[in-house]
Amino acid sequence: MRKHFIPLLFICFITSKYTAQVITREDSLNAGLIASKSATVISGYGSFKYANNLKDKSASINVDRVIIFIGHKFNNKISFFSELEIEDAKIEGGAVGGEFALEQAFIKFNINRNNYISVGLIIPRIGIINENHLPTTFNGNERTMVEKYIIPATWRELGLSLYGYSNKIAGLNYSLALVNGLSSANFEAGNGIRGGRYEGSNANASSLAVTGSLLYYRGNFRSQISSYFGGSAGISKTVADSLMLNNGVFGTGVSLSEFNIQYLGNRFQAKTLVTFVQIPSAEKINTAYNNNTPEKMLGSYLELAYNLVKTEERTFRIFSRYEFLDMNYSMARKSNSSMIKQHYLISGFSYLPVNGVIIKLDYTYQLNQNQSLVNPMQSINGHFIKLGLGYSF
């Protein structure tokens, strides 16, 4: 007992020290600090998952992610927001997996009541999951595949973004962002542009990207259209010439367009998303880096959900989602990659015993149609049962 006393005392000291300094959201509200001057806000989210591969008869269990949010309001015009993420519980030198990364870190400047600018590591408004990626906000243990591989959520880059909404057209929101571009050297066959993100780490600012969105709420509907257009070869002219790539701000361009619509009724809910990526210089990228970059990628999904129980605190929801991805919808010449179409059918339930905690159980049927010229009949099927626990506060 005695040998535990000193460490315990130390922990108490540290805890008391920090509780004296950091004011929680609830304390801030109670003390009236939010409305007056400044405050520090802490919150976070995370998820745990057990996955059983019924085909392989293997199972895994993992801490998918734990995120700590820290924000600080300097005054009524300027605030700081940050999210620090640990994936897979630990990161070990040389080991595969795990990530310790900043998911967001930006300063927000209020221009007026309807408009503000965020500067720093920002998450542009593209798709649904990119902005709304907390586990309590989506059904299923996995984020949607379309928004993992075609729209590489959580897609954050360095730059600045204007956000606003209209008073004249109730429910109309807009955003326009300027961020660093991608790195086509890191595009990968089967993973699309995901590997080309810099995510705030020593990003090449020679190429840039512009992205914008229109988001509109009407009744229980939420619809959004967004697009992204940016360069992916932020390299010197000499290097670009030697690789036969177009450099410059928007050189070796990538464009992404996306449309989604959600119906969020008290009982019935539905959402659908369609996205399309074009890389017209894919052939040049393949010649330069031999990474089988596709010319076009296509993805879409449809999800239907029904709240069997919906009270102020508890929600029990059943859902089913079908996803389709074609990572190689159109391939450039000089590509060795086959045409791969992926289909996912995910069905299950989400139970929120309290707003902020979610228990998820789902069954996933996965079909990868590999239309390889070598073996057109080749296909990979998978059946998974996944059980997860998530939280956000």
Identify which of 116, 39, 29, 104 has the alpha carbon closest to the alpha carbon of residue 72.
39
Task: Report long-range pairs for 203-206 (Cβ below 8 Å, ≥24 apart).
Answer: 203/157, 203/158, 204/180, 204/234, 204/235, 205/158, 205/180, 205/234, 206/181, 206/231, 206/234, 206/235, 206/236, 206/247, 206/249
Least separation, in Å, of the C-beta of 227 and other proteins?
A: 4
Counting every residue written for the chain, the total comes to 393
Query: Taking CB under 8 A as the rule, which mask of x and - marks residues 15-54 in contact with other proteins?
Result: ----------xx--x----xx-----x-x-x---------
Of 119, 170, 308, 367, which one interacts with other proteins (CB under 8 A)? 170
Q: Say whether residue 220 binds other proteins (CB under 8 A).
A: yes
- Cβ contacts of 165 within 8 Å, gap of 6 or more: 114, 171, 172, 173, 174
Closer of 281 and 366 to other proteins (Cβ): 281
Interacting stretch for other proteins, rule CB under 8 A, among 12-20, 68-76, 339-347, 360-368?
A: 68-76
> What are the Cα distances from residue 54, in Å, to 41, 57, 71, 89, 385?
43, 5, 42, 25, 7
Residue 205: both structure tokens together: 């600012």
Instruction: Count CB-CB contacts under 10 A for residue 202.
Output: 7
Query: Taking CB under 8 A as the rule, which mask of x and - marks residues 262-301 in contact with other proteins?
Result: --x-------------x-xx--x-----------------
Closer of 185 and 215 to other proteins (Cβ): 215
Query: Taking CB under 8 A as the rule, which mask of x and - marks residues 236-265 in contact with other proteins?
Result: ----------x------x-x-x------x-
- Counting residues that bind other proteins (by CB under 8 A) gives 60
Interface positions with other proteins (CB under 8 A): 25-26, 29, 34-35, 41, 43, 45, 69, 71, 73, 76, 79, 81, 113, 116, 125, 131-132, 134, 136-137, 163, 165, 167-173, 212, 214-220, 222, 225, 227, 229, 246, 253, 255, 257, 264, 278, 280-281, 284, 312, 352, 354-356, 358, 392-393
